[in-house]
Amino acid sequence: MNFLKKVMIFSVGLVVSSFGFSKENSQNIKVEPCGFDYDVNNYYCKMDKIKVFEDNIGRKPDFNKDYSVIKIDDGKYYRLVALNKKSYKVYPLNYQINKKKADFNYATEKDELCISGDLYSYRDTYLNSKACFKIIDNAFVKVSIVEGISQKNNSNTLVFIKTPISSDFFSKCNEKNPVKKCEQLESSNNRAYSLSELKKISPDFLNIFDNPKVDSLNANTFRFLPKMKDGFYSIAEKYMETDEGTSSEFYLIKLKPTLNVEKIGGYYSIDNYGVITYKDKNGKLLKRNLN
């Protein structure tokens, strides 16, 4: 009988010890911050993510002496964190990273982590870019960015509008230059894409434009503005047949953070500071700073 009691006490002790170890690990993991951008609350503090972090505690550091980089599978994207192996603190990188184009560069002896590809975030979306980060004051901080890498010589990468620009860019160019030269300048400075061309660059564009607000426009082409502080923008152009010939109607599409479509009439111009000038439906001239 005494033997049975000892066995039972020993068994209970093992169960309690095991439960305490798991709980202690959960308490040791500290995420700064829990939320990702503005779209998902407490994404990094959900139990399945904490479990991933716990499972990586035993791994050898592979970044900045004391950190392990953890890539979280998020469908078509990676989300990335760095786990400090001494303090058990987790530092999220506030970007979604396109899996297909992602190239990571970091090492144990380096304090800088670099990512090449497409990075998406609320205020900072970078396509075909290389961004480098360091952990400073308990957070990932962007220390350098090279945008539009290889886009000049690669037809499968996106070319952004070069400002200043206006919707009558080609006609103004043709007043002083041959058509061939203006076509070359249009291709490099004011590139327009059909949906089929965008699909070749990335299937993600079809997902972005697969929205009733965009579908209802029946737009023929799309142009993309360089990164603006206020978001990620495209200008859609719709060809219109009139008694006087063909004309164009333009729409400003805010792609990030929330999709929004605004009609900007038959003419627009954008200066170097990101200020767009256009007319509303009543013909009133409007100016708006996209930065």
Q: What one-character-per-residue DSSP string does 157-208 give?
A: S--PPPSSEETTHHHHHHTTS-HHHHHHHHHHHS--B-HHHHHHH-THHHHH
Per-residue model confidence (pLDDT) at position 235: 95
Per-residue pLDDT reduced to its tens digit, 204-263: 777 777 788 888 898 888 999 987 776 789 999 998 876 666 788 999 999 877 889 999
Of 22-31, 62-71, 162-171, least confident by mean pLDDT is 22-31
Tallying the residues shown for the chain, one arrives at: 291
Q: What is the mean pLDDT of residues 25-41?
A: 67
Is-contact 277 269, C-beta < 8 A? yes
Of 1-10, 44-53, 213-222, 267-276, least confident by mean pLDDT is 1-10
Among residues 170, 167, 132, 133, the alpha carbon closest in space to that of 149 is found at 132
- Any idea where the domains of the chain sit in the sequence? 30-154, 192-289
The answer to whether residue 5 scores a pLDDT higher than 80 is no
Cα–Cα distance, 258 to 115 (Å, whole number): 25
The answer to whether residue 201 scores a pLDDT higher than 70 is yes
Per-residue pLDDT reduced to its tens digit, 158-170: 788 988 999 999 8
Per-residue model confidence (pLDDT) at position 37: 55
Three-state DSSP at 239 gives: strand
What CA–CA distances, in Å, run from 252 to 101, 217, 228, 270, 289?
27, 11, 13, 12, 13
Phi, psi of 239 (to 5 degrees): -80, 135
Per-residue pLDDT reduced to its tens digit, 134-189: 998 888 988 888 776 543 334 456 788 988 999 999 888 889 888 888 888 888 88
SS in 3 state form for 131-167? EEEEECCCCEEEEEEECCCCCCCCCCCCCCCCCCEEC
CB-side neighbour CA atoms (13 Å) of 233 = 21
Q: What is the mean pLDDT of residues 5-30?
A: 43
Per-residue pLDDT reduced to its tens digit, 82-141: 999 999 999 999 888 988 888 999 999 999 999 998 888 766 678 888 889 999 888 898
Per-residue model confidence (pLDDT) at position 242: 66
Three-state DSSP at 18 gives: helix
Which of the four pLDDT bands, split at 50, 70 and 90, describes residue 14? Answer: very low
Which of the four pLDDT bands, split at 50, 70 and 90, describes residue 23? Answer: very low
Cα–Cα distance, 66 to 64 (Å, whole number): 6
Angle formed at CA 231 by CA 228 and CA 233, multiple of 5 degrees: 80
Q: Which residue has the higher pLDDT, 20 or 38?
A: 38
The answer to whether residue 284 scores a pLDDT higher than 50 is yes
* 81 DSSP β-pair partners: 70, 92
Angle formed at CA 196 by CA 192 and CA 199, multiple of 5 degrees: 100
Which of 60-64, 252-256, 282-286 has the largest mean confidence? Answer: 60-64
